[in-house]
Structure 1
C-alpha cells in the first residue's frame, strides 16, 4: 500500500493542491481558479461556494491525474491567506461571502477605527499594528454597519479553517492564524479579553474558535466531503497553518539567520525571534509553527499583485500583438534590460492598492526612447524596492534579527531574473526552492510532522525541500541599485506628502 500526503493552499485567486510521498517528494499538482469579488466601498470578497468547488475540483483532479487511490492518502492539510474573515454557522456553512485580507472597507471608513491612544494600547496587547484587512478591524466594522450579523454567526474563521471545517467539521484555528487576527495574546496563545474590550467587540468573544497547534490531527473527511473531493471518508485532517508560515517553513526558515520573503499577492517579509518583538511593533506577529519562536512580518499589497495589474491594464496590447504569455514576456524583457550597463531612469511606484503614507501609484522619469523592456524593468524594480522599504523597517530596532540569507517564495520567485534583483537590492544571498508550489509543500510538511513521519519541522523541511538555487549579490549591481533605491524611496515620500496635502484641500 502506497502512502501519500495531500496539501492544499487556498489563495485569493487560485486553489492549489499537491501530492507528496511520505519521504517528501512531490508527485503531482493541480490548480483551480477561485477569483475574488470586488465590490463598492473597497470590498474584496470570495464566493464561499466558488472556493469550496475549487478545493473539491483540484483535489479530484490531483487524484485522477496521479492515479492515486483515495485509500492511499494518509492525511490532508490546508493552508490559506491570513486575516480577513469567514463567518460560519453551526454546520460550517458560510454566512455571507468570505472577506479577503486585501479588503479596504475599513480604510474608506476611518470613523470606524479606534482613536490613536486606544490603538497603541491594543497593539501592545496583540504585539502587532492595526490595519484595515485585519479580523479585529472587520469585526468592529460589522458591529457598526451590520449589527444583526453577529446573531447569525457561530464561528469567525480564517480561510484555511473554513475549508477544513467543510472537510471534516472541525472549527478551531492554529497559533499562526490566531496571531494574525489582531485579537490574540501571542505569548499565551489565547484570545485577548482586554483587546476585545478596548475595540468594543467583546460580544464577539464566544464566536472565536479554540486555538491549537498546526501539526495536529483534528478530524476525518466526512461522507459529504468524501463524495465531493474524491477522498476516502475518515482520512485524517490536520489543523494546518497560515500561508505565510507555510511558505517560511517550506523555504526552511528555521532560525534567526534566515529571512523569508514572500513576493505574491501580498509582499510579506519575515524574521524569526526568540521572544515577541517590542522595540518596534511589526505589522504582523505570531507564534511560529514550531512553537519555539515568533514570526515578525512587515509588508503590504505592494508586491506581485501590482505586476498582475500592469499585465491586465498596461501591457495587454503588448501581449495581444505578440500572442504569447505576458508573464514570460515580462521576464524576458527584464532579463534583457537588467543586463544593460546603463539602466533607464524610469521608475514605477507599486501602490495601485495603496501606498505608504498615502503615496500614489504611477510611473516617473519615462522618456521617448524607453520601450517595453524598460517599462517591465521599472515594474519589477519598483516592487523590489517596496519590499526593501518594508525590510528596512523589519530589521530596525534593538531586537531585530540579523539575517545572512533570504529565502524567497511566492510568484516572483519563479522568475529567472527577479530573485537576482532581490539579491542585488538587499545585498544578501537569495535562495529559492527548486520546484513546486511552496505553500502546498508547507501544508504537507505540517501534516508529516503531525503524523509522526518526521520527529521535527527541521528534518521534515529538509526532506520536503532538499535543494534550493542560490543567487549571490553582484557587487557592481549592489552599488547601482543602492543609488536607485535611495531615489525611489525619496520620491515615494515626496509623492505621499504632495498627494495627501492635495486630498486635504
Structure 2
C-alpha cells in the first residue's frame, strides 16, 4: 500500500487537511472555512470547540473522498498561525474563545509597556518586540480585565498545540511557536520566570506545558479521536510548526543566501540565521527553527493581501482575475493615488490606520485597485529592506502566498524592489511544511534539509522592469512622506488626549 503523511494547516480563514507521499507530492486537499468572531472593536476570536469540529470534519472528508485506508497514514503534522492564545481551564476544558494573533485589545497595555521601556528590557532575552498578538500581551490584558478567567487558566497553548492536544490528549508548546511568545528565553532556550514577572503574568508559570520539538513525536491518535475521524488509533503526531516556518521550508530556505517574502494576511519577510547577533541595525524578530542551531529571522506586519479582500468586498466581491485585468489595462505607476494597507494593523506605529490619499474625480476603481497592489508592496518593502540589511548579498527574493499567483502584482514587487523574484509553485506551503516535519519525525528523512532536497516543483522567475524602477522609487518615497506626515498627525492627536 502507498504510504501517506497527513498535514493539517490552521490558518486565518481556512482549516486545511492534505495527504502527501514520501516525495512531498500532494495527493489531495480538503478545506473548511473558519469563522473569526469580533464581539468588540479590535477583537478577533475563535470558538475552540467549533475549530475542533472543523478539524474532525475536514479529516473525515479527506478520508472519505480519497478512500485511502487509515493505516496508510504514517504520521501527522500540524502547521498554524503563530502567537495568539488558546487556553484550557483547570478541568482541561476550553476557557472561553481563543484570542487570535490579529486581536488588538491589548493595545493600551502595549503602549504602556513602550512608555516604560519594557521592549528594551526584554528584547535581549526574547528577541521579540512587544505586540498586541503575543500570548504575554493577551495574558496581561486578561489579568487586568477578566481576572476570574485569568485565575482559572490551567494550560497555555497556541493553535497547533491545541489541535495536537485534541488529537493525542498530550499537552505541549511547540518550540518554533512558543519561542516567539515573549514567555521564552531564546538564548537559554527555556521558559523564563523573570520575563513573566517583568510582564506582570508570573502567575501563569504553572500553566505552561513542556516545550516540544517540531519533528518530535508528541503523542498518538487516541481511540476516541479514531472513532470520530476515521484515523487509525496509534498514528504518531509530531510537534508541528509555526506557519511562517512551514513556508520557509517550502520556499527552499537553507542558509543565509536566500530570503522569502510571504504575502498572505500578513506581510512577512524571513531568512535563516546560524546565530543570534547583538547590536544589529534593527530589532529583528528571531524564532527557533526546525533544525537545531538555526533561527528564523523575520520582519512582519498584518499589512498584506487581507487589505485587498476588504477593499474588493466594498466593490461587490470582484474576482482575482477581474482585478488583475483592470490593473493590467492601466499604465505602470499611472496615478498619484496612495493606499496605506493598515486596515488590520501597521508597521508604522500603533496608531496608524489605513486609507487612500490623492483621490480625484478623474480616478477610477482600477486606479484604486492599482494603488492597493502598490501599497501592499510598499509595506512589504519596509520589511524586505530591513531584512536585506541583515542578510547582505542576497540578489533573489522568493515569494509565496496568494498574490504570488498574480503576475501583475509580482511585477510591481519586482519593479519596486529591483530584485529578481522566484515563485515556487507550491499550492499549500503550510500543509506541505507540516507533512515534511511529520516525515522527519517518523524517520523517513534524517533532517529537514534531506526532506527539502527531494522536493521537485517548478519555480517561476520574474525580472524587474528597470524603466519602471525609477518611477516606483519616486512613488515609494511619497508613500513614506505620507506616513511621516500622519505620524505627526497622530502625535498631535495623542497630545490633545492627555
**Cα drift, residue 181 of structure 1:** 0.5
Secondary structure at the counterpart of residue 348 of structure 1: strand
The 1:487/1:114 distance shift into structure 2, 3 A limit, reads closer
Query: What is the match of residue 263 of structure 2?
Result: 263
**Cα drift, residue 416 of structure 1:** 3.0
**Cα drift, residue 92 of structure 1:** 4.8
Among 351, 358, 363, the alignment partner of 1:365 is 358
Query: What do residues 341-378 of structure 1 show as CA deviations (whole Å, max 9, x unaligned)?
Result: 56122111111123312333111222333222221111
Determine if the alignment matches structure 1 residue 387 to structure 2 residue 380.
Answer: yes
Gaps of 5+ in 2: none
Q: How many residues align?
A: 493
TM-score (norm 1): 0.93
Distance 2:151 2:38 in 1: 26
* Most deviating of 259-268 and 359-368: 359-368
The 1:111/1:458 distance shift into structure 2, 3 A limit, reads closer
Query: What is the match of residue 437 of structure 2?
Result: 446
Residues 349 and 363 of structure 1 are in contact (CA less than 8 Å); yes or no, is this contact kept in structure 2? yes
Query: What do residues 172-220 of structure 1 show as CA deviations (whole Å, max 9, x unaligned)?
Result: 1222111110111113221122211211222211111211220111111
The 1:367/1:281 distance shift into structure 2, 3 A limit, reads closer
Query: What is the match of residue 486 of structure 2?
Result: 495
Query: What is the match of residue 228 of structure 1?
Result: 228
**Cα drift, residue 114 of structure 1:** 6.4
**Cα drift, residue 48 of structure 1:** 0.8
Query: What is the match of residue 196 of structure 1?
Result: 196
**Cα drift, residue 160 of structure 1:** 0.6
**Cα drift, residue 495 of structure 1:** 1.9
Query: What is the match of residue 395 of structure 2?
Result: 404
Query: What is the match of residue 213 of structure 2?
Result: 213
**Cα drift, residue 20 of structure 1:** 0.6
RMSD: 2.0
Distance 1:407 1:447 in 2: 24
The 1:67/1:259 distance shift into structure 2, 3 A limit, reads same
Among 455, 468, 472, the alignment partner of 1:464 is 455
Query: What is the match of residue 322 of structure 1?
Result: none
* 1:306-345 to 2 correspondences below 5 Å: 306-313=307-314, 315-316=315-316, 319=317, 326-337=319-330, 340=331, 343-345=334-336
Residues 250 and 445 of structure 1 are in contact (CA less than 8 Å); yes or no, is this contact kept in structure 2? no
Residues 109 and 137 of structure 2 are in contact (CA less than 8 Å); yes or no, is this contact kept in structure 1? no
Distance 2:462 2:243 in 1: 24
**Cα drift, residue 152 of structure 1:** 2.2
Residues 82 and 101 of structure 2 are in contact (CA less than 8 Å); yes or no, is this contact kept in structure 1? yes
Query: What is the match of residue 66 of structure 1?
Result: 66
Query: What is the match of residue 2 of structure 1?
Result: 2
Determine if the alignment matches structure 1 residue 375 to structure 2 residue 368.
Answer: yes
Determine if the alignment matches structure 1 residue 55 to structure 2 residue 46.
Answer: no
Query: What is the match of residue 486 of structure 1?
Result: 477
Query: What is the match of residue 135 of structure 2?
Result: 135
Residues 173 and 209 of structure 2 are in contact (CA less than 8 Å); yes or no, is this contact kept in structure 1? yes
Determine if the alignment matches structure 1 residue 272 to structure 2 residue 263.
Answer: no
Query: What do residues 107-166 of structure 1 show as CA deviations (whole Å, max 9, x unaligned)?
Result: 145576464333311122111211111111111111111222244222100111101110
The 1:91/1:160 distance shift into structure 2, 3 A limit, reads farther
TM-score (norm 2): 0.94
Residues 44 and 103 of structure 1 are in contact (CA less than 8 Å); yes or no, is this contact kept in structure 2? yes
Residues 126 and 187 of structure 2 are in contact (CA less than 8 Å); yes or no, is this contact kept in structure 1? no
